[in-house]
Structure 1
Amino acid sequence: MKKHDQDFMKRQNRLTVFEIIKNQNPISRASIAKQTGMSATTVSRIVGELTEQGYILESEKVSEGLGRKSMLLEMVDASVLSIGVELDRHRMSIGLVDLQGNTVCSETYSRKDDESSDTTIERIAAVTGELLKRHSIERGRVAGIGVGLPGIVNNDEGIVVFSVQLGWKNVPLAKRLSELTGFKADVDNELKAKALSEHLKGAAIGSNRTALIGFGNGVGSALIIDGEIYRGAMNSAGEIGHSTVDPNGKLCECGKAGCLQTYINISSLLSEANHYRRIHSMEELFEARRAGERWAVYLIDRALMYMSITVNNVVCMYNPDSVILTGELIDKFPEIYEEVKSLCASRFVWEPLNGSFRFLRSELNEKGVIIGSGLMAQRRFFALE
């Protein structure tokens, strides 16, 4: 047990030093020791390992101020890459992510509703190989592969416990993907991955408590507290789309009646719109609303009301300092963000909490899950290597 604890502390110290250099470079060894409380010897040992492995280098710059001058440490951003994957009902996106969370390249592919898990996993492996070959990336530079997808995920085991949108249940995604690619694989809920990327690289930099809410093919949320993803006992924290708002309401695709998302998500809105006239896309639905068609105005206005209620519920539960709206509906229809923000301020956010948080849009948009998934794979790599 003692050796296990020592090994764990070594991994955590290594990850801490790595993250500080990555986020604050150029930086001196002395500054790292001061921030972490580690001894100068421990910091020098970790820095030596990271330098020898080619992840960092000593800069010719020297620290400013009084006293002894010291060389500064910088990250070699291209020394390690990871693969980030986003899976959704109709598409899959795959990209290469560097140490700073920049996407080196990315590709998006269509996906059929009824595509099996085996087919999807095989396609991810094939596309990954093609991407590395096309961009002449040596496999030894790849730290691992991360996948973000909708649903409940056992992130410790890399198992997709249940995903309504993908139609998957108990799929050992990480194990299968590792077998096919040869890379360690991490799997997590897509909004948790995106929340992490927004915290590290996007709209929520500097936030201590970030709530991210996604509106699109589903409805969900994720919370970052002091830089860590809040998961709950089953990693299902944030599944607000399946909270019940009307026990006698519409049947959700999860099999339960009256779920919140049945009043907001794309498939529910299009299904209800087709009771009035043939509508093929959300673009057509919004065009009908802009043309003043009463049924379309009603459907969208009702969805905006429930979006605002969702924001209020999340704010009341978690008291975040930042709330980020994201998802396909927010990305494609910018007016939604402004209208929900206005509704929250005027009607729906509980008065004592009104103005207590920053109201933000995602800055990373469609790249957020790729970046977050890739960064999760890197975090594991540098903690365990």
Structure 2
Amino acid sequence: MKKHDQDFMKRQNRLTVFQIIKNEQPISRAAIAKQTGMSPTTVSRIVSELTEEGYVHETEEQASAGRGRKSSLIRLLDTAVISIGVELDRHQANIGFIDVQGNVLCSGNFPRSSGDTPEATVARIADIIEELILECDIDRRRIVGIGVGLPGIIDVEAGIVNFSVQLGWKNVQLAERLKELTGLQAVVDNELKVKALAEQLKGSAYGSNRTVLLGFGNGVGSALILEGEIYRGVTNSAGEIGHTTVDPEGMMCDCGKAGCLQTYINIPSLLSEASKIKPVRTIEELFAERRAGTRWACYLIDRALAYMAITINNVVSMYNPDSVILSGEILDKFPEVYEEITNLCYTQYIWEPLQDSFTIVRSKLHEHGVIIGSGLVAQDRYFQLN
């Protein structure tokens, strides 16, 4: 076997052992060897390396139910590795420091405007990271990288934002610029894909084999998890359901096409339609009009909820998942719509043979989902490289 193949296998084995410890701790060396098929010697070598580097530690613990002798079990040190997760959205950037369990140690944010350049945004991210390190007393030596999740088509390997309608960005070398400003390795991915990863590891999709995550907010998108892996497609654009055409004679979308699905659901489109009748600045104002029984507001939101239910039917018919996770700003701000969407699904829109084949659940991670997922992706990249 060539040396680079051997090096690759060593890195993969190390990552596999680390992930097993992370997900199933406390665990014995023998159990790791049994799960992976690696030799006890290989497992012991990897565990010893991880122990010396301060990532794991061994403790003697009693066997289950208090019977038998104590065995040596391996646990992860939660703050052995810290990563930075960043969520970039149309109007705001959220930044958080994430430990190896996906816990948010501290976080901050700053507002964005549509006119902000990529350079200004990246410089502000670097400034906030520095402020949070000092404010939250973060150990710099433990920070292993930055993960960024944002809406759009992303070249993950190159760290380039190929195209983001919401941010107005095209061909932005985001990972490279972040590394230049912070000195940290950076990885960039689609926001819903990293959020789906977070839900798979510690949220609503835990234990699921085939999950679709849907995001309804400033845009509309989806991510598909198959056997614990994100399905990406050829160009990492799988799941861009918001730009499927539902009416070729419909409203114009930011992407330049007419009648995209998201023009009937997303927040900017709803506010644009509402403002034709009455100046409405925020989605909160629109929902307040609905609660007051204003007919046009009821119509706009009821139509949006119907299109959300139609979206669920479409992805269920296409992918046959065991669960569908609903997420995004609309669900986070107005949790009452979850039941309305679910009722619409089961009373009107879900194809009958599939009605009992899946569950509809809410995101457990809410506004932290993207920064958690981004941070965990950065950690995975670090362990793959090291």
- The bucket for the TM-score relative to the shorter chain is over 0.9
Find the counterpart in structure 2 of residue 330 from structure 1: 331
Kept in 1, the 8 Å contact 2:60–2:71? The answer is no
- For 1:360, the aligned partner's letter is V
Matching residue of 1:146: 147
Give the aligned partner of residue 176 of structure 1: 177
The structure-2 alpha-carbon separation of the partners of 1:258 and 1:6, relative to structure 1 and needing over 3 Å to count, comes to: same
Q: Please give the per-residue CA displacement for 1:230-250, whole angstroms capped at 9, x wherever unaligned.
A: 100000000000000011111
How far does the alpha carbon of each residue in 1:166-188 deviate from its partner, in whole angstroms, 9 at most, with x for none?
01000000001011101100100
- Mapped to 1, the partners of 2:97 and 2:283 lie a distance apart of 31
How many angstroms does 1:4 deviate by?
Answer: 2.8
Structure 1 partner of 2:9: 9
* Partner residue in 1 for 2:79: 78
The answer to whether the aligner puts 1:217 opposite 2:215 as a matched pair is no
Q: Deviation string for 1:328-354 (max 9, x for gaps)? A: 001111122111111111111111111
Name the structure 1 match of 2:98.
97
Deviation at 1:6, TM superposition (A): 2.2
Supply the AA of the counterpart residue of 2:134: K
| Contact 1:28-1:63 at 8 Å conserved across structures | no
Deviations 1:180-228 (A, max 9, x none): 1011001000000100001101111111111100000000000111111
Partner in structure 1 of residue 49 of structure 2: 49
Where does residue 359 of structure 2 map in the other structure? 358
Q: State the distance in 1 between where 2:330 and 2:137 align.
A: 36
Q: Decide which moves more: 348-357 or 3-12.
A: 3-12
1:196 aligned partner, one-letter code: L
Confirm or deny: 8 A CA contact 2:221 2:241 kept in the other structure: yes
In 2: Cα distance, 1:165 partner to 1:38 partner:
46
- Measure the CA separation in 2 of the matches of 1:12 and 1:229: 18
8 Å CA contact retained: 2:321, 2:358 = yes
TM-score relative to the length of structure 1: 0.97
Does residue 339 in structure 1 map to residue 348 in structure 2?
no
Q: In structure 2, what is the equivalent of residue 125 of structure 1? A: 126
Shift of 1:380: 1.1
Q: Secondary structure at the match of 2:308?
A: helix
- 5+ unaligned residues in a row in structure 1: which ranges? none
User: Equivalents in 2 of 1:66, 1:5: separation in Å?
Assistant: 44
Worse-superposed segment, 161-170 or 56-65: 56-65
How far apart are 1:135 and its partner, in Å?
Answer: 2.3
Deviates more, 1:308-317 or 1:286-295: 286-295
Greater CA deviation, 111-120 or 63-72? 63-72
The C-alpha deviation readout for 1:64-90, integer Å capped at 9, x for no partner, is: 598875300011001110000000010
Measured in 2, the distance between the counterparts of 1:277 and 1:383 equals 53
1:84–1:94 contact (8 Å) kept in structure 2? yes
CA contact (8 A) 1:80 1:98 kept: yes
> Separation in 2 of the partners of 1:344 and 1:179?
48
- Give TM-score scaled by structure 2 length: 0.97
- Secondary structure at the residue paired with 1:206? coil
Map Cα deviations across residues 99-122 of structure 1 (whole Å, 9 max, x no partner): 100000001211112100000001
CA distance in 2 between counterparts of 1:239 and 1:232 reads 11
**Number of equivalenced pairs:** 385
Please state whether the residue corresponding to 2:285 is helix, strand or coil: helix
Tell me the equivalent position of 1:29: 29
Question: Percent identity between the aligned chains?
Answer: 66
Are residue 375 (structure 1) and residue 376 (structure 2) matched? yes
**What residue ranges of structure 2 are gaps of 5+ in the alignment?**
none
Measure, in 1, the Cα distance between the counterparts of 2:121 and 2:140.
22
The aligned runs of 1:244-255 (5 Å cut-off) are 244-255=245-256
| 1:60 Cα deviation after fit | 2.5
Alignment of 1:220-235 (within 5 A): 220-235=221-236
Query: What is the distance in 1 between the residues matched to 2:98 and 2:186?
Result: 14
Would you say the 8 A contact 1:82–1:96 is kept in 2?
yes
How many angstroms does 1:98 deviate by? Answer: 0.3
User: In the alignment, is the contact (CA less than 8 A) between 1:63 and 1:72 conserved in 2?
Assistant: no
List per-residue Cα deviations over 1:273-297 (Å, max 9, x = no partner).
1111121211121122222222111
Structure 2: distance between partners of 1:290 and 1:137:
44
- Partner residue in 2 for 1:197: 198
SS at match of 1:343: helix
Q: Distance in 2 between matches of 1:66 and 1:201?
A: 30
CA contact under 8 A between 2:212 and 2:323: conserved in structure 1? yes
> 1:299 deviation in Å?
0.8
Change (3 A) 1:2 1:358: farther
Partner of 1:278: 279
Distance 1:13 1:253 in 2: 45
Would the aligned equivalents of 2:86 and 2:375 in 1 still touch at CA under 8 Å?
yes
Paired position in structure 1 for 2:18: 18
Instruction: Determine helix, strand or coil for the equivalent of 1:143.
Output: strand
The structure 1 segments of at least 4 consecutive aligned residues displaced by more than 6 Å after TM superposition are 65-68
Q: 2:308 maps to which residue?
A: 307
Matched residue type, 1:6: Q
Counterparts of 2:293 and 2:70 in 1: how far apart (Å)? 69
- Post-superposition shift, 1:133? 2.0
Give the structure 1 partner of residue 291 of structure 2: 290
Residue 63 of structure 1 deviates from its aligned partner by: 4.0
Per-residue deviation at 1:3? 2.7
Are positions 1:135 and 2:147 aligned together?
no
Deviation at 1:137, TM superposition (A): 2.2
Q: 1: distance between equivalents of 2:8 and 2:230? A: 19
